[in-house]
A = this chain, B = another copy of it.
Amino acid sequence: MTPLFVALIHYPVLDRNGRIVTSAITSLDLHDIARAARTYGLRGFYVVHPAADQRQFADRLLDHWRLDHGRLYDSRRREALDLVETVVDFEGAIKAAEAIAGARPQAVYTSARSTEGLSYSELRERLDSAGGPPLMLMLGTGFGLAPAMRERADLILKAVHGPDEYNHLSVRAAAAVILDRLRGR
């Protein structure tokens, strides 16, 4: 299988008014996306935050579940959280994934507003075919990734939709749906 990674990006993202902001780390994002990452066979889940105190918050949470009490309490949760790593910026996520996969991953931009881009079956085909580069999905918190992150991407993935135009999933739910479309059975 082509190595697949995911990055949860807290800067630069948009707020409700379209301004570029830094969002706070939400502990349930880490738990839910880690469990989805493990379920769909990802090789790593990077939590991208520029602020040291926010990364320390996430690291303490991860340590709790990886060590001692949390480890004994729920080994399945630990197995998922073992995939998580905090990094300062998106380039840090790419570098960390490159060290695991042995090749630099292509960055895949995701957004609830993308009307153009690859379909899920097209990206799934790339993942299923041997010899392609590793892929890193970019997930935005807040009201989505800043335009600069789109320019930085190698590929763009179409938005997830149901029967109509409303598609305001939480980032936790969107991550699970995207991974299921790419790796579910």
Contact = CB atoms under 8 A, between A and B. Distances in A.
A18 B165 CA distance: 41
Copies per complex?
2
A33 to B, nearest CB: 8
Interface residues of A, number: 38
A4 to B, nearest CB: 10
Contacts of A183: 162-163
A34 to B, nearest CB: 10
Interface stretch (A63-71, A73-81, A132-140): A73-81
B168 A35 contact: yes
Given A160-B184, A163-B183, 10 more contacts: A35-B168, A38-B166, A39-B161, A39-B162, A39-B167, A41-B163, A169-B176, A172-B172, A173-B176, A177-B180
